[in-house]
Amino acid sequence: MKKKYRIGVLPGDGTGPEVIAEGLKVLQAAAEQTGFDYDLVHYDFGAQRYLKTGETLPDTAIEEMRQLDAIYLGAIGHPDVPPGILEKEILLKLRFSLDLYINLRPIRLYPGVATPLRDKGPQQIDFDVVRENTEGLYAGAGGCLKKGTPDEVAIQESINTRKGVERCLRYAFDYCRRRNRRKKLTLCGKTNVLTFAFDLWERAFHEVGAEYPDIQRDYAHVDAICMWMVKNPEWFDVIVTDNMFGDIITDLGAMIQGGMGIAAGGNINPQGVAMFEPIGGSAPKYSGRNVINPLAAIMAGQMMLAHLGESDAAVRVERAVMQTIEQDMQGMEAGKMGLGTREVGDRVVAHLAAL
Ligand code: IPM
Ligand code: MN
């Protein structure tokens, strides 16, 4: 019997719906070709619904989503909604409530994609970042006093639990082993200044790492990591880090792999549901114009296939994307692809069919 999945689809705001439509096109083609089945559960959460009803993401939806095999998310954020509301009440709420404690972000430069790094190519830019996704500065601990006065105090604390850090590290070691390349895991921290938080991270890193004698342990401060990602990206195999540093270095990573048009990520609970998204955001100025690059969303769908265990489909979609880049596209930037959003999706489907 065919395997059947229940996949939640949350296209969201801006260009989210356009890129998710292309991702679903590719998903359908991959399913037909490799023989699995799925039902889609559609959700309309995002700016439109919030502006109309005041509702962001109700707890009943969270409970329903817990039962899904995966969630496919477009983008959250809209210029008519003050920053922070939708991000916190939808995106971060999903990550926290569903305990999606891993944010996996591959930094892979595909042949034919332009990188701003002179003298670096696909051989040199090929690593993954494992970002802790539920703690750190994102936990929301802190507060303020005397707001709006000259004596105002604002405190925002980084929460690092042994349990939260350890499960993230364990995933990173396992992932590094599965990836089976250089077998090197780099901890990205700031042990010279954040002497409480990264002391915990560093001790846990070596304690957990002792169980993985096949994985080489490496450490670098976050500022140095930024430097090396530009100067010597080939040094990295898998990087593991906390929520805030992971947020920052993966935007840098997205740039060296060719931009937001191609960068995808997965929010994963290894014991539960997972949510896959293009990491670029809602890009409102490009919405509705058929100019946004859907490859990041298509690659998020590809990661979803890999996560579901549909490795044949995942390999095929990646190959079809690589062929589309090499044979059909002029660039990765919105409006500079030489093709429209829908046409890129069509090309991926056509290459898939020809594999
Ligand atoms: C990301 C985004 C989010 C984050 C924002 C939108 C809350 O930048 O997914 O990297 O900071 O995690
Ligand atoms: Mn970010």
Domain assignment present for residue 274? The answer is: yes
| Closest ligand 1 atom to Cα of 76 | 6
> For residue 12, with 0-12 CB atoms within 10 Å meaning exposed, 13-18 middle and 19 or more buried, which class applies?
buried
Residue 279 Cβ contacting ligand 1 at under 6 Å: yes
Distance CA(351)–CA(274), nearest Å, equals 27
Residue 54 domain flag? yes
Q: Is 91 near ligand 1, meaning CB less than 6 Å away?
A: yes
Query: Best of 56, 81, 92, 255 to mutate for ligand 1, by most ligand atoms within 8 A of CB?
Result: 92
What does the pLDDT look like over 256-303, one tens digit per residue?
Answer: 999 999 999 999 999 999 999 999 899 999 999 999 999 999 999 999
Q: Total structural domains in the chain?
A: 1
Measured CA to CA, the distance from residue 26 to residue 316 in angstroms comes to 10
Asked whether residue 137 is domain-assigned, the answer is no
Tokens of 240: 């593991």
What CATH code is carried by the domain that includes residue 60?
A: 3.40.718.10
For ligand 1, atom 12: residue with the closest CA = 247
127 within a domain of the structure (yes/no): no
Exposed, middle or buried by CB within 10 Å (0-12, 13-18, 19+), for 245?
A: buried
User: Is residue 226 situated within a structural domain?
Assistant: no
Q: Determine the pLDDT at residue 1.
A: 76
Q: Indicate if ligand 1 lies below 6 Å from the C-beta of 275.
A: no
Per-residue pLDDT tens for 311-332?
999 999 999 999 999 999 999 9
251 C-alpha to ligand 2 centroid (Å): 6
Is residue 69 within 8 Å of residue 273, measured between CB atoms? yes
Q: How far is the CA of 110 from the centre of ligand 2 (A)?
A: 21
pLDDT reported for residue 159? 98
Residue 98 lies in a domain: yes
Q: Is the CB of 343 under 6 A from ligand 1?
A: no
Grouping H, G, I as helix, E, B as strand and the rest as coil, residue 239 is: strand
Domain of residue 321 covers 1-114+258-355
If you take atom 10 of ligand 1, which residue's CA is the nearest one? 247
pTM score, two decimals?
A: 0.97
pLDDT under 50: residue ranges of the chain: none
Q: Is residue 322 part of a domain?
A: yes
Residue 167 lies in a domain: no
Instruction: List, as ranges, residues with CB under 5 A of the ion ligand 2.
Output: 247
